[in-house]
Amino acid sequence: MKNPFKNFIKGLLIFFALVCVHTASAQFVPKNEVEERAAKLVQAYQVEVGMTVEQASAVYEKIVEVIARENSIKNSTSTAEQKKKSLMELSKQETEHMGTILDSKQFKEYKKMKKSLQPIKI
């Protein structure tokens, strides 16, 4: 069994490395709620998935995009059923994209965590 404290510290170190790397290039400093939420999700995934800095950066960019699209869908004039269908398709696309970023072991962990970290809600 994994040591949760060790994983937490590892996740924090990688998160801080991400912040430092991206702060230097002015890409990771959360400017709004979407980016802030994405940063928190990446940090949560990092603890269990164990991404490299490059992977975490790519995951962050994708999650920012997905959250923005989720908000657009939720604020649309579509019916609740249409919104739910669109959100489910978006979630499926996100998961498929993560499979191109993460290795198979990481991807398996990501999929397990996603259900609780990013549930589909209208």
- Predicted pLDDT of residue 28: 53
- Predicted pLDDT of residue 27: 46
- Predicted pLDDT of residue 20: 46
- Predicted pLDDT of residue 30: 57
- Predicted pLDDT of residue 47: 86
> Does the model's pTM come out above 0.75?
no
Tell me the domain boundaries of the chain.
4-115
CA quadruple 47, 16, 56, 69: dihedral sign: positive
- Predicted pLDDT of residue 49: 94
- Predicted pLDDT of residue 11: 59
Low-confidence ranges of the chain (pLDDT < 70): 1-30
